[in-house]
């Protein structure tokens, strides 16, 4: 989309979506009054008003559209968002830089054999659902790589999500352009020195829950929970992409670098 050309002819169609907070709702009213507001299906660009959680919700909700999303931070966390300023929005959209990210696909199996599938832009995580530590077996591309990981949980993160839950669990920050995923353990007890692994984007990861009755584990894809599971399969969805717009010099690549030199 050539936003500069659209700006010159004043025909840029914008869909403003806002979280439920009063700040975001007020911002939506102000911006809609100034620039008009169309449905996401009609829009040239979607402007998401909220925090990172709402940005993820917007990306999931509009993944069937090939429409870029420009976020403005009206929440508490805004790694995926631009700063909120009402003046000059059209100029900011015209000069915005685009990042393309691919989500993870989670296929979780419940004890009764039912399957739960979901996409994750940030990470797929497994967490113990009882008082005892989880015991997990990790396989990559059909080969068992770790027979038993005793931990509070584990997660697989995309580069875009590497500064979120993954970073809090002491996982590595991944450059956006890297073709790798981060596999990170949460509070690993055994092996004590195992800090995770970097895996190629094309890898197919399977995590089996050992003794799920005694040591139950629940799985989540971003904020979408699968409940208690006995195994989870994770792989990157190269056929699905999300287009995110950032102000020049404030894209994901720059933010990832800043996080490492605070």
Q: Are 166 and 182 a contacting pair, CB within 8 Å?
A: yes
Q: Are residues 223 and 121 in the same domain?
A: yes
Q: Are residues 181 and 78 in the same domain?
A: no
Check the CA dihedral 253-257-259-262 and report its sign.
negative
- Burial class from Cβ neighbours inside 10 Å (0-12, 13-18, 19+) for residue 25 reads middle
Q: Are residues 129 and 182 in the same domain?
A: yes
- Burial class from Cβ neighbours inside 10 Å (0-12, 13-18, 19+) for residue 133 reads middle
**In the chain, how many domains are there?**
2
Specify the length of the chain in residues: 262
Q: Please check if 167 is assigned to a binding site.
A: yes
pLDDT on residue 2? 45
Chain segment 176-204, per-residue pLDDT in tens = 778 899 999 999 999 987 889 999 999 99
Q: Are residues 230 and 114 in the same domain?
A: yes
Q: Are 124 and 104 a contacting pair, CB within 8 Å?
A: yes
Residue of higher predicted confidence among 59 and 75: 59
Q: Are residues 192 and 252 in the same domain?
A: no
DSSP state of 10: T
Residue 262 pLDDT more than 90? Answer: no
Q: Are residues 201 and 167 in the same domain?
A: yes
Coil, strand or helix at 116? strand
Chain segment 118-153, per-residue pLDDT in tens = 999 999 999 999 999 999 999 999 999 999 999 999
Coil, strand or helix at 121? coil
pLDDT on residue 10? 58
Q: Please check if 70 is assigned to a binding site.
A: no
Q: Are 200 and 123 a contacting pair, CB within 8 Å?
A: no
Q: Please check if 123 is assigned to a binding site.
A: yes
Q: Are residues 125 and 226 in the same domain?
A: yes
Q: Are residues 218 and 110 in the same domain?
A: yes
Residue-range definition of the domain harbouring residue 38 = 3-102+241-260
Q: Are residues 74 and 143 in the same domain?
A: no
Q: Are residues 136 and 222 in the same domain?
A: yes
CATH number at residue 253: 3.40.50.10330
Residue 51 pLDDT more than 70? Answer: yes
Residue 6 pLDDT more than 60? Answer: no
CATH number at residue 148: 2.60.200.30
The CA distance from 202 to 255, in Å, is 25
Q: Are residues 158 and 221 in the same domain?
A: yes
Q: Please check if 160 is assigned to a binding site.
A: yes
Chain segment 233-255, per-residue pLDDT in tens = 999 998 999 999 999 877 667 76
Q: Please check if 211 is assigned to a binding site.
A: no
Q: Are residues 82 and 124 in the same domain?
A: no
Q: Please check if 166 is assigned to a binding site.
A: yes
**Percentage above 90 pLDDT, the chain:** 77
Residue of higher predicted confidence among 10 and 68: 68
What residues act catalytically?
Answer: 52
Give the mean pLDDT of 93-97.
93
């Amino acid at each position: 989309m050539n936003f500069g050309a659209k700006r010159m002819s004043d025909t840029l169609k914008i869909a403003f979506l806002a979280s439920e907070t009063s700040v975001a709702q007020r911002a939506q009213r102000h911006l809609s009054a100034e620039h008009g507001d169309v449905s996401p299906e009609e829009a040239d660009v979607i402007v998401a008003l909220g925090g990172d959680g709402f940005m993820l919700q917007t990306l999931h909700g509009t993944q069937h559209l090939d429409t870029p999303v420009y976020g403005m931070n009206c929440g508490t966390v805004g790694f995926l968002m631009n700063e909120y300023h009402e003046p000059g929005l059209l100029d900011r959209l015209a000069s915005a830089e685009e990042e393309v990210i691919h989500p993870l696909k989670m296929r979780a199996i419940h004890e009764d054999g039912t399957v739960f599938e979901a996409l994750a832009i940030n990470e797929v995580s497994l967490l113990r659902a009882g008082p005892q530590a989880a015991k997990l077996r990790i396989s990559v591309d059909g080969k068992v790589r770790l027979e038993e990981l005793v931990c509070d949980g584990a997660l697989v993160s995309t580069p875009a999500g590497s500064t979120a839950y993954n970073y809090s669990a002491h996982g590595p920050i991944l450059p956006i352009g890297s073709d790798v995923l981060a596999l990170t353990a949460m509070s690993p007890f055994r092996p004590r020195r195992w800090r995770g692994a970097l895996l190629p984007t094309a890898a197919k990861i399977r995590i089996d829950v050992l003794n799920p009755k005694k040591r139950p584990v629940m799985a989540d894809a971003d904020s979408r929970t699968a409940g208690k599971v006995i195994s989870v399969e994770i792989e990157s969805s190269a056929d699905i992409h999300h287009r995110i717009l950032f102000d020049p010099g404030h894209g994901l690549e720059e933010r990832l670098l800043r996080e490492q030199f605070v």
